[in-house]
Chains A and B, each alone.
Chain A
Amino acid sequence: MGLDDYKGISEAGELRAIEYMADKLRGRSFLHVNSTATGGGVAELMQRIIPLIRELGIDAKWKVIKGNKQFFEVTKRIHNSLQGQVGPLTDKMWDTYEKVNKKNGDKMDLDADCVFIHDPQPAMLIEQKKRGIWVWRCHIDISTPDKVMWYLLKDQVKKYDAAIFSVASFAQSLPMPQYMIPPSIDPFSDKNIDLSEAEIDEVFERFKIPRDKPILLQVSRFDPFKDPIGVIESFKMVKKYYDCTLVLAGGTADDDPEGERILADVMEAADGVEDLHILSLPPFSDKEINALQRGATIVIQKSTREGFGLVVAEALWKNKPVIAGDVGGIPLQVIDGVTGHLVHSVEGCAVRIRQLLQDPIKARNMGIMGREHIRRNYLITGHIRKYLALWLSMENPGQDVINL
């Protein structure tokens, strides 16, 4: 897969900009470090973005820190606290966090011209910086963090040369420059690549979901912030007027007891509701999610709290109108009344679903606009363009206009 494959999908000017900037950075080293090689949005992104950057002549590398169960319990606690849940770390936990980071840093070759450290798990690697530009790339929503946790972690974060956040509201008061770079989708990944009708049919048949009526779909973890029970309530309101199907597709992780509990609550709320399908998908279900999104009539993402919400971009890319909560990065993707609707309540969600079911032409046009919006703003090529531009701008500090 190379940049040429994106001709005809991404803008010509975008590809031209990438090639020109990459030429300026040819032979330079660009290291990315995160905490997982598989599963999760960051790993998914690295798998796609690193080979493309390498193909441009930049020595891009991706490394993954190793840790034991205890370490990942600590980092999960940090992750949750930064997203607003209260959960202080004990001295012993901080000690584990520091030691595992140090051990990884001792073994890992961190020598590069530009180093991106993704999320809090490997953030303490900054202690072992020797040279280059070091950037903390934060993918999670830290707009309302647990104050104590952020106060303590900030001591590490401010040692970086810069930080990147996905949405403006995630920015913090930090002494170094902060940049906004949203995440992206890759049209050629398993989750987004074109599928034939036969492939879509096969997935729906496998899950025993008839395609004889309009299908409403929400793809998300079984998490209270995604409000799956609210979606069921909206569906019940819609069902009084329109014969349609609701699919709630998500997964729970073995180490996530809360997910199991929410799934049980969802099952209880779904009891006796006709045409409702709840799918608990295993990891690596990208093709299945792709098919479900392509087979849906309307995609819902009724989040009450959200990071960027890249699942919205995935649905819009497949020409689906999206009805979604007005939170996090969703309003950047759902332009209200253009690519879908932003909603603030169960009732609002129901009304917007009814409007689009009643007016399929409007729904189809919204889907078309949605795909174009994502094509222009949230594809992997735009992401690479922004990464290279950021690197070059950091090598030219103090300039608002940089002539290459």
Chain B
Amino acid sequence: MAEPFVFFECTPVERMTGRHAKDVVDFLEILKQISSASIFHHMHQYFLKTHVAPPEYPNDFTCWIADCLEEKILAERLANLNPFEFANIEDVRVELIRIITNYLKENRPPRTVREGKEFFFNEGITIVIPTGLVATNLAEFKAALDEVDPSCIYYHFYEARLRLGRKVDDFSCFFSDCFEGECTELAERIRRLDPYMYTAETLKNKLVSLVVSAMEGK
């Protein structure tokens, strides 16, 4: 019998670096030097937080550039960068730098934000906590998904990609290997999801619906 799926949740701790940018040039300079943990935090915390109204773009850098600097073209280019296409965060850094540098070559000197609206670079620490929930079949899996916090989805779906250094999530890995190959179709459906277009909450609902479909043999 395959190993059961063990559900974890996580609690974030936000550490401040004390570094902040007031315009794009500042921002680029800090981006080159800041820790990869900071880049990871700002590219992913959107997926960890629960939102009553999700921000316009799914990462902190883009939101700041769109809302505070009002550099809409640059914001759209950065928003189009899907961090989940990269196997590690250093490659994300290189791509961010490339996009911003090209933008600066093409455009007028950037504006400066007003006081208090600077971009503050933080880092995240993740405390991983077992929920006590496990699943040995699809019914238990669905019941656990109904129970868990969105941080569970973040941990297994988003953070897993970087933690394991592969471009796949824990859920689809589990369904690929378990139940004597009966859930490979479900694994494939989960793997085909575009993670960048969901929040942890909307993704949780989507996963529940995919698991229910699999249970009904659809």
Taking beta carbons and an 8 Å cutoff, which residues of A are in contact with B? 11-14, 16-17, 20-21, 143, 165, 168-169, 171-174, 177-181, 326-328, 335, 338-339, 369, 372-373, 376, 385-386, 389-390, 392-393, 399-404
Given contacts A17-B9, A335-B53, contact A174 B125 (CB under 8 A): no
Contact between B52 and A335, CB atoms less than 8 A apart: yes
Given contacts A173-B18, A403-B128, contact A13 B120 (CB under 8 A): no
Taking beta carbons and an 8 Å cutoff, which residues of B are in contact with A? 9, 11-18, 20, 37, 50, 52-53, 116, 118, 120, 122-131, 147-152, 159, 163
In the A-B complex, the 8 residue pairs with the closest CB atoms: A13-B149, A168-B120, A171-B16, A338-B53, A178-B16, A180-B14, A389-B11, A373-B52
B184 to chain A, nearest CB (A): 29
Residue of A nearest to B35 (CB): A400
Residue of A nearest to B148 (CB): A13
Given contacts A335-B52, A400-B125, A402-B126, contact A390 B13 (CB under 8 A): yes
Contact between B11 and A21, CB atoms less than 8 A apart: yes
B152: which of A13, A390, A403 is its contact (CB, 8 Å)?
A: A13
**For residue B125, which residues in chain A have a CB less than 8 angstroms away from its CB?**
389, 393, 399-402
Name A's interface SS. Answer: mixed
Contact between B11 and A385, CB atoms less than 8 A apart: yes
Contact between A389 and B9, CB atoms less than 8 A apart: no
Contact between A400 and B126, CB atoms less than 8 A apart: yes
| A–B Cβ pairs within 8 angstroms, 6 of them | A165-B16, A169-B116, A178-B15, A393-B125, A403-B128, A404-B128
**For residue A13, which residues in chain B have a CB less than 8 angstroms away from its CB?**
9, 131, 148-152
Most interface-central of A165, A171, A376 (chain B CB within 10 A): A171
Contact between B16 and A21, CB atoms less than 8 A apart: no
Contact between A369 and B129, CB atoms less than 8 A apart: no
B13: which of A14, A143, A327, A389 is its contact (CB, 8 Å)?
A: A389
B157 to chain A, nearest CB (A): 15
**For residue A143, which residues in chain B have a CB less than 8 angstroms away from its CB?**
116
B129 to chain A, nearest CB (A): 5
Contact between A327 and B149, CB atoms less than 8 A apart: no
Contact between A168 and B131, CB atoms less than 8 A apart: no
